[in-house]
A and B are shown apart, each in its own frame.
Chain A
């Protein structure tokens, strides 16, 4: 099992993936938790040897701040606009879609996106996204501890 937190903690809510990953690392010392910038080639290498991978990143899709989006990579395409950090770089959504074409997806890849509110410079999450981080940490811990009970794709 691998948990990947993606983001930039110096851009406020962009760091939510890192925050959630660090909390999971504290709660589950047995789970491998890594932090990534979101660069695609590095992500594809990181998840190549694990059966189950959780990836957490901030998103900006226009939904209400704090909304938690869940995608099961094998069941649906990842909307590129959700996880783009650059029009030039090879980012999370592109990595997942290229990996799908190349049969390089891990057997189970769950992607959580947390709708950010404030992507300005600075440290710390906005209050709304902090609450979402708290909810998401609990939710992933529950999934990790009951891996056969896969929740359906939905927003919360």
Chain B
């Protein structure tokens, strides 16, 4: 979060000379996002000439080195793509493999998969809201500075995050790069007794999550709305984690297997991450705001009530309000985790049997940042012949650039330092994960 100190504040006076002045705003390395990227904005007078979200984290070639590996290795290999959302990679990969192999995982094993995903949403959302995004709204350089003025807030955030860690730790074997997920289920499932202490922590966490929603809703919100195409999973009876059809607010309604007929990845010169677009329609928006807008009625009563109590309604088109939505989803994840634990009965087997066979499988689950698509083609021995992975950040890149373009146009009178600050804040609305996207920040604003 550093405006270029060499840049002079923009003159508030506009005349013909000022209108032809070239200005660039740039942030070489964006802080508080995962991975290496930057932002470049070029302005000529009152016109935005160029906006680039530059991603220079090197490509990581995961899809290539999955080829030739056994189907069962995919969850552990792909989990290494991201230290923040390994569960998402494990869940998308196991569901894609099970689709290829004709296996369904039901009952308590299915519920445990939702439970571990609740843990990851809590970990990821709480980290983003308290440590990465809230300092933007309150004018602090980082969470350490914010903690000096808001010690109880940060303390609560840490307690809440730890509760998410505890879920992932117990179900996944450890909190980072968990090792207990497999195609067909788990290597080991917890006893009812082992889950009991989690329930106690979650009861406390639910109170903190309610405070988190009120805190997020109290933050000063930039006035900024756009007409987005929101895309998320939709399930008939659940707020989506692992299953559902891909739907949008503009008529998309497809099975996961039809993803590649509707979405296409494009290479752009300034990014080592592919930009994903909807065919014939272009940019779209995935993540908490999309899920909330498309699945509001599937939230649990306490989460819906929390949204109502702070005046947040679907559809919400202000991306800055994603910090409120993340808080509501955190509350939902805590509440859903409690429901699952209360209804839990230990299954007889930790996994269903899986036999290799030739086929192609498709999986799409809701990572904290949005839909994560996996497709694998297997041979008769279960060896991966071909893999495709589309992470949420590469799907949001075009929308992030579009937001920045419109935001700059709306707030041209701000000086460089303030504008740069707010553009970084706008990027963090998407909680971008560059490491995932290159499987994907720096800011440059140039004015003429």
Contact = CB atoms under 8 A, between A and B. Distances in A.
Interface of A: 37, 39-42, 44-45, 85-90, 94, 97-98, 101-102
B155 A90 contact: no
B23 interface: no
20 contacts: A37-B175, A40-B158, A41-B165, A45-B162, A87-B29, A87-B32, A87-B34, A87-B35, A87-B36, A88-B33, A88-B435, A89-B84, A90-B127, A90-B161, A94-B131, A97-B144, A98-B143, A98-B158, A102-B154, A102-B155
A87 B31 contact: yes
Contacts of B144: 94, 97-98, 101
Contact of B151 (A39, A41, A102): A102
Given A87-B35, A89-B83, A89-B84, A39 B165 contact: yes
Contacts of B83: 85-86, 89
A89 B127 contact: yes
Interface string B276-287: 000000000000
B383 interface: no
Interface of B: 29-36, 83-84, 127, 131-132, 142-144, 147-148, 151, 154-155, 158, 161-162, 165, 174-177, 433, 435
Nearest to A45: B162
Nearest to B441: A87
B34 A88 contact: yes
A86 B84 CA distance: 10
A90 B142 CA distance: 11
Given A88-B32, A88-B433, A89-B127, A39 B143 contact: no
A122 B161 CA distance: 31
Specify which of B30, B36, B176 lies most central, judged by the most chain A CB atoms within 10 Å of its CB. Answer: B176
Given A37-B175, A88-B84, 9 more contacts: A37-B176, A37-B177, A39-B165, A39-B176, A87-B30, A88-B32, A89-B127, A90-B131, A97-B144
A44 B34 contact: no
A155 to B, nearest CB: 25
Specify which of A44, A45, A98, A102 lies most central, judged by the most chain B CB atoms within 10 Å of its CB. Answer: A98
The 9 closest A-B pairs by CB, nearest first: A88-B34, A37-B176, A101-B147, A41-B161, A97-B144, A41-B162, A41-B158, A101-B148, A98-B147
Contacts of B127: 88-90
B280 to A, nearest CB: 34
A48 to B, nearest CB: 11
B30 to A, nearest CB: 8
Contacts of A85: 83
A40 B144 CA distance: 12
A94 B143 contact: yes
B287 to A, nearest CB: 15
A147 B84 CA distance: 38
B66 to A, nearest CB: 16
A83 B185 CA distance: 36
B138 to A, nearest CB: 15
A130 B288 CA distance: 46
Contacts of A87: 29-36
A9 B148 CA distance: 35
B253 to A, nearest CB: 33
A80 to B, nearest CB: 9
Contact of B158 (A44, A88, A89): A44
Specify which of B30, B35, B162 lies most central, judged by the most chain A CB atoms within 10 Å of its CB. Answer: B162
